[in-house]
Amino acid sequence: MGDSSSAAYIHLVHRLIEECILFNMSKEECMEALSKHANIQPVITSTVWKELEKENKEFFEAYSRSRAEIRASETETRQRIQNMISDNSSKQ
């Protein structure tokens, strides 16, 4: 690849990572998705992601916290549903 095509490829990966972030994906999920659906090697996605993290440290720190809060909320919701199912089963 020449310099301009390499830059265009990196820009494409950057744009696709932004799409992954819109879908609240982790770096690992993004690497897997881009490998599967865009035929981008995980090492390329990981490298571009790491550079984005360096350039946007505060954003990625907030993104990580947000993802953790969402996971905790999802876990709590699953537990509540399981408790409701268990309570309902024991009443029958």
**Residues constituting the chain:** 92
Average pLDDT (52-67) is 94
Cβ-count burial 60-76 (b if 16+ within 10 Å, e if not): beeeeeeeeeeeeeeee
Task: Check pLDDT > 90 for residue 82.
Answer: no
- pLDDT for position 59: 95
Task: Check pLDDT > 80 for residue 87.
Answer: no
- What are the domain boundaries of the chain? 1-55, 60-92
pLDDT digits (tens, 9 = 90+) for 24-51: 999 999 999 999 999 999 999 999 999 9
- pLDDT for position 88: 74
Task: Check pLDDT > 80 for residue 1.
Answer: no
